[in-house]
Amino acid sequence: MFVDRVKVHVKAGKGGDGIVAFRREKYVAYGGPYGGDGGNGGNVIFRVDTGRTTLLDLRYNRRMEAKPGGNGKTKKMHGANGEDYIVKVPLGTVVKNLKTGRILADLTHAGQEAIIAKGGKGGRGNYHFKSSRNTAPQYSELGEPGEEFDVQVELKVLADVGLVGFPSVGKSTLLSVVSKAKPEIADYHFTTIAPNLGVVQVPDGRSFIMADLPGLIEGASQGKGLGHQFLRHIERCRVILHVVDMGANDGRDPLEDYRIINEELASYEYRLMERPQLVLANKMDLEGAQENLQRFRAAYPKVEVFETTTIIAEGLEPVLYRAADLLETTPQFPIFDDSEEEENEGVLYKFEPEKPLFTVHNRGNGLWELSGEGLERTFRMSKLNNEEDFMRFARKMRTLGIDEALRNAGCVDGDTVVICGYEFTFME
């Protein structure tokens, strides 16, 4: 089964907790705090495996969860880092954040890997919090939660030359003749329902990868027929080989077929019409093919046309030579625009206001709620087990300016403040 799009849930490992411990050797006076830090959580990593050609494995394993980091130990010993979760995917895989649509990874090289969800940092042990005012701190940090979200994994076939055209024009036959690929060939439409790849050897020693892609119909760019299931796989192709049935075997007009297919390519994103395109006039052994070819050349005089009859392998060498020549001069076409690529590389070219650390929400009847990524991260890493923990958390909230923000918003003594589902009483 060919699977080329899967939605999965990724969850990186939580950081290990720091611990509270003290040095208690008999001959070491005032040993002091001795608690170690927690280990970092494992990452969820996607890695290219050239032995895979489909995302079938991910369909039956929709949750990828890395191991958490180990807790700290006494004698300032660091907890073990969590084990990474490795997801093996085929060449040409693209990983997107399902919520934001942002591309997280575009895996196009053998062995390439990318961290999709980053593990949380380990919490600090109590020896980090020793000071002249508090020489025996009873406080340590919890580990930071790892990143967790849904991603969409797409496979976009990694081929140099893509075959396009209406169903049953001879694309699969062409691939089977010029390579050792064995696509399904039959006398009915949509015989090919999944891309087939073959390595084509040019007589002069050059080679390239050709993809036989499912047939297009009018309206494919809006999802009709196989729609985007087809178009998704031509995004990486550098040269397009447009196969046209000049024999009009199905009663269609070759000129109209050529126009419709190009309109669908132009309507799709990723600038498909910027790629060099060769026209393969197929089935030239049929009656009326020469007349149709003359009409085609008259209507499109600047288009490169090659006469072939793929079923008997006639006229194919010039097409292969020309495709190989074009591949030497045609660059790769990125699947996302430059601005998005710069964003993925961490380069910012426009000013964006910094997100506030927290936001105050008045829920009415003396109920207030605080939200914000920075605040929630601080809260989740704070232990609240004893009086010292609560006092330290209160001081941290005051340092962040939360007390003042609540007062300015109208919060008064005795009101309830909610942080991450936990309720606190506001006191002056």
Which residues make up each annotated binding site for GTP? 165-172, 190-194, 212-215, 282-285, 309-311
Total Cβ atoms within 10 A of residue 402: 21
Q: What are phi and psi of 316, to 5 degrees?
A: -90, -30
326 to 234, 241, 275, 315, 320: CA distances (angstroms): 16, 11, 10, 18, 10
Bind-site residues for Mg(2+): 172, 192
Give Cβ neighbours of residue 325 (< 8 Å, ≥ 6 apart). none
Q: What b/e readout covers 86-123, taking b as 16+ CB neighbours within 10 angstroms?
A: ebbbbbbbbbbeeeeeebbbbbbeeeebbebbbbbbbb
Neighbouring residues of 368: CB distance < 8 A, sequence distance ≥ 6: 360, 361, 362, 406, 409, 411, 415, 416, 417, 418, 426
Instruction: Catalogue the E-assigned strands of 283-395.
Output: 305-307, 359-364, 367-371
Ordered strands of the 85-89 beta sheet: 85-89, 44-48, 113-117
Of the candidates 116, 119, 212, the residue with the CA atom closest to the CA atom of residue 159: 212
Q: Which class for 317: exposed (0-12), middle (13-18), buried (19 or more C-beta within 10 A)?
A: middle
Q: What are phi and psi of 402, to 5 degrees?
A: -70, -40
**Residue in this structure with the two tokens 């009415």, named with its chain if needed:** 364
Q: Which amino acid belongs to residue 414?
A: G
Q: How far apart are CA 257 and CA 230, in angstroms?
A: 17
Residues that constitute the known binding site: 165-172, 190-194, 212-215, 282-285, 309-311
